[in-house]
Chain A
Amino acid sequence: EAGVAQSPRYKIIEKRQSVAFWCNPISGHATLYWYQQILGQGPKLLIQFQNNGVVDDSQLPKDRFSAERLKGVDSTLKIQPAKLEDSAVYLCASSLGKGLTQYFGPGTRLLVL
């Protein structure tokens, strides 16, 4: 069974530029999560989707971050404009449903210069 796919794996941009990350969850997984992991810290939840609806986006910096899961499968996370402190690994995870085991993708490593 294929795991969670993410792309790109690495991205370097300059501050104030825009960037987008893509996630394809495990087939049949209704719940999708985006996490941000700053170097030396554990991952922090940004947003949770159940199918194409948002369950929790309380920790998403909505002035610059946005995410969507229009058809309830793939998801994109966008940052516009990027700041230096957005340099981090962005992890996508999925689960069959809420409260069930989450499986993570390899992450996208973002460096903002």
Chain B
Amino acid sequence: DAKTTQPTSMDCAEGRAANLPCNHSTISGNEYVYWYRQIHSQGPQYIIHGLKNNETNEMASLIITEDRKSSTLILPHATLRDTAVYYCIVRLPGGGADGLTFGKGTHLIIQP
């Protein structure tokens, strides 16, 4: 079973910041938080990942709470092309079997 909890769906107006929450209250100290998204009829696309510190790249920002029990993915200026299912995943670094465990994700709909 997935180790994360996400809202089923969210709406956001185009041009506004989209803030997607994720709860991972049972995360262990060396597990990373990964975010992927899946646009309709495409494969999942990597967005960002982090361990403890906040991270930012050209696509998004990741804010992880100090206790690491939750995080928020921020798309700073959402466009219609950001409409997708967003998956929050926790995983261990390195090691042996490391397939990703996907939950149902959050269906983000960007409204014009």
Residues of A within 8 A of B (CB): 4, 33, 35, 40-45, 48, 55-56, 58, 91, 93, 98-99, 101-107
Contact B49 A98 (CB under 8 A): no
Provide the main secondary structure of the chain A interface: loop
A22 nearest CB across to chain B (Å): 15
Contact B43 A106 (CB under 8 A): yes
| Nearest A residue (CB) for B87 | A42
A65 nearest CB across to chain B (Å): 15
A41-B105 Cα distance, complex, nearest whole Å: 9
Contact A98 B94 (CB under 8 A): yes
Q: Which of A35, A42, A43, A102 contacts B46 (CB under 8 A)?
A: A102
Contact B97 A91 (CB under 8 A): no
Pick the 9 closest A-B CB pairs, nearest first. A42-B102, A45-B99, A56-B97, A104-B43, A99-B94, A99-B93, A104-B44, A43-B102, A107-B43
Provide the main secondary structure of the chain B interface: loop
Q: Which of A55, A93, A102 contacts B96 (CB under 8 A)?
A: A55
Contact B95 A99 (CB under 8 A): yes
Find residues 73-107 in chain B having any chain A CB closer than 8 Å to their own CB. Answer: 87, 91-105
Contact A104 B45 (CB under 8 A): yes
Residues of B within 8 A of A (CB): 2, 34, 36, 42-46, 49, 87, 91-105
| Nearest A residue (CB) for B89 | A42
| Nearest A residue (CB) for B100 | A102
Q: Number of residue pairs across A and B with beta carbons under 8 Å?
A: 59
A36-B86 Cα distance, complex, nearest whole Å: 17
Which B residues touch A56, using CB under 8 A?
96-97, 99
Contact B100 A43 (CB under 8 A): yes
Query: If the complex has contacts A42-B87, A42-B104, A91-B44, are A33 and B99 also in contact, measured as CB distance less than 8 A?
Result: yes
A40 nearest CB across to chain B (Å): 8
Which B residues touch A103, using CB under 8 A?
46
Which A residues touch B104, using CB under 8 A?
40-42
Which A residues touch B105, using CB under 8 A?
42
Q: Which of A48, A99, A105 contacts B43 (CB under 8 A)?
A: A105
Which A residues touch B93, using CB under 8 A?
99
